[in-house]
Amino acid sequence: MEILKTKVAIIGSGPAGLLLGQLLYKAGIEHIIIEQKSADYVAARIRAGILEQVSVDLLKEAGVDQHLNEFGLPHHGIEILTGGEKHRIDLSALTQGKQVTVYGQTEVTKDLMQARREADLTTFYEAQNVKIHDFYAQPYVTFTQNDQQYQIRCDFIAGCDGYHGVCRASVPQDKIKTFEKVYPFGWLGILADVPPVSDELIYVQSERGFALCSMRSNTRSRYYLQVPLTDRVEEWSDERFWEELKNRLDAESRENLVTGPSIEKSIAPLRSFVTEPMRFGHLFLAGDAAHIVPPTGAKGLNLAASDIAYLSSALIEYYINNSEQGIIEYSEKCLKRVWKAERFSWWMTHLLHRFETESDFDLKIKQAELAYILGSEAGQTTLAENYVGLPYEIKKFENLPKAS
Ligand code: FAS
Ligand code: PHB
């Protein structure tokens, strides 16, 4: 058994773990990342596509925004297609100039991994049988890699290991409360090297079900269809996907749609999920380890970023300013923003998807709600300010020691 010591042991090298590692490195705080998958596997994951302005600002603070600045696509509006008509929500005009940036989570992950390699920081990939111990007193992590057993003694453990990770599962049942809503449908997503159907995202509410027209660049598109949970991806040929997407689009978009072979196709289930609290002694949960949102509001990746903004600030305050204030406030501050994003994601999902259990009356009410939102500046503003991202309430630290 090899015994190592560090200040912060980060479990998971998805966006949350990698971003926390980068921010701690910039503040000169030693840490180690332990990841169960290979680096290639992590770098190849295809998921989110939209970054809030506050997430972009955080990536800039972490010093990993060069590629993002060059290839990210600033978007100032989105379209909502309902009843065969498109309605543009002018995000920037409604939020005093804020915007979102189209930039794939895959690229964010690669940028953070590249920065980690350049700084030669310690990451254990393909770690097996990862366990966390004694996190209410003297925390340590054990795992095996290449048949070598390790024990990492640390001050804190950051559970950035996603929804299926080991950290939340290690918390005693009487110390944790979870809230969950599972949606009766999934998103069938396709990635294809074809130009996007429109310059901006189109969220589609149609009688046949929800669809989303998104993109990764001007030559790579990302599309989603609401499908029953019973569907399997093998049942969806590319041709069937494109035909169904056309059936849900308006005439102009149908005309403009460029189809082509998929380079990725998968079905993701939709759920809302929150863990309370998000701190257990010396263990913090962040990102999908603590909460899940349906992707309709484009909040999952952005919530992971806001948790890390609060957690990195709390740990920097502890080590640099010798104060526990941020650590004590971590869970409450995160959850305030998490629940608002959960509400918005639930609301967008409810508004734009077809639910088989809906009565004719429910449908009429939903149409009236959407007509009000799209037809009123107040309604459009509430959608816009949530979509571009609500502000963080965070302390900034000046004069941090420069990373070695
Ligand atoms: P992640 O799940 O990304 O990373 C957790 C890491 O921990 C993984 O690398 C995992 O291998 C590792 N791990 C797990 N268990 C471990 C253990 N026991 N030991 C060590 N390591 C362990 N969000 C959006 O904003 N917009 C979207 O469009 C969107 N689309 C999505 C589509 C899909 C199919 C999925 C699944 C999610 C989508 N999301 C979207 C949400 C997604 O982007 C997450 O919010 C984001 O990945 C959260 O990042 P992390 O918290 O780092 O968790
Ligand atoms: C994506 O491009 O993957 C995407 C964009 C917006 C969403 C969800 C997913 O709401």
- Closest approach atom of ligand 1 to CA 286: 51
Asked if the model's pLDDT at residue 402 lies above 80, the reply is no
Q: How confident is the model at residue 195 (pLDDT cuts 50, 70, 90)?
A: very high
Looking up tokens 């940028």 gives 111
**Site to substitute for ligand 2 among 201, 223, 263, most atoms within 8 A of C-beta:** 201
- Ligand number with the minimum distance to the CA of 106: 1
Nearest to 66 by CA among 115, 102, 28: 115
Nearest to 14 by CA among 90, 82, 141, 106: 106
Per-residue confidence (pLDDT) for residue 396, from 0 to 100: 65
Asked if the model's pLDDT at residue 114 lies above 90, the reply is yes
Asked if the model's pLDDT at residue 404 lies above 50, the reply is no
**Which of helix, strand or coil describes residue 97?**
coil
DSSP category for residue 28:
T
203 is catalytic: yes
Ligand 2 geometric centre to CA of 49 (Å): 5
387 is catalytic: yes
Q: Which two tokens stand for residue 171?
A: 């918390």
What number is the average pLDDT over the span 89-112? 97
Nearest to 300 by CA among 342, 343, 348: 342
What number is the average pLDDT over the span 244-264? 97
- H helix intervals, 223-324: 238-248, 251-256, 300-320
Q: Whose CA is nearest to atom 5 of ligand 2?
A: 49
Per-residue confidence (pLDDT) for residue 395, from 0 to 100: 67
- Closest approach atom of ligand 2 to CA 48: 3
Give the global pTM. 0.95
Task: Please state, rounded to an integer, the average pLDDT across all residues of the chain.
Answer: 96
**Site to substitute for ligand 1 among 23, 34, 36, 107, most atoms within 8 A of C-beta:** 36
Catalytic option among 299, 333, 353, 366: 299
What number is the average pLDDT over the span 34-38? 98
Per-residue confidence (pLDDT) for residue 394, from 0 to 100: 80
Catalytic option among 103, 203, 223, 318: 203
Within 6 Å (CB) of ligand 2, which residues are found? 48-50, 201, 212, 214, 222, 295-296, 298
Tell me: domain 2-73+103-180+271-355, CATH 3.50.50.60, correct? Answer: yes
Ligand 2 geometric centre to CA of 54 (Å): 17
Ligand 1 geometric centre to CA of 319 (Å): 28
Q: How confident is the model at residue 225 (pLDDT cuts 50, 70, 90)?
A: very high
Q: Find the Cα–Cα–Cα–Cα dihedral 281, 282, 287, 293, rounded to 10°.
A: -10
Catalytic option among 26, 31, 75, 366: 75
Cα–Cα distance for residue pair 186/202, rounded to 1 Å: 18
Catalytic option among 25, 295, 330, 353: 295
What number is the average pLDDT over the span 330-359? 97
**Site to substitute for ligand 2 among 50, 226, 353, most atoms within 8 A of C-beta:** 50
Ligand 1 geometric centre to CA of 361 (Å): 37
- φ and ψ at residue 81, rounded to 5 degrees: -100, 120
Q: Whose CA is nearest to atom 7 of ligand 2?
A: 298
Per-residue confidence (pLDDT) for residue 397, from 0 to 100: 64
What number is the average pLDDT over the span 27-52? 96
Q: How confident is the model at residue 393 (pLDDT cuts 50, 70, 90)?
A: confident
Asked if the model's pLDDT at residue 221 lies above 70, the reply is yes
Per-residue confidence (pLDDT) for residue 172, from 0 to 100: 98
DSSP category for residue 323:
-
**Which distant-in-sequence residues (6+ apart) come within 8 Å of 33 by Cβ?**
10, 11, 12, 13, 17, 18, 21, 116, 121, 122, 123, 124
What number is the average pLDDT over the span 135-164? 98
Ligand 2 geometric centre to CA of 376 (Å): 25
Asked if the model's pLDDT at residue 403 lies above 60, the reply is no
Residue type at position 110: K
Asked if the model's pLDDT at residue 300 lies above 70, the reply is yes
Ligand 2 geometric centre to CA of 307 (Å): 20
DSSP category for residue 161:
-
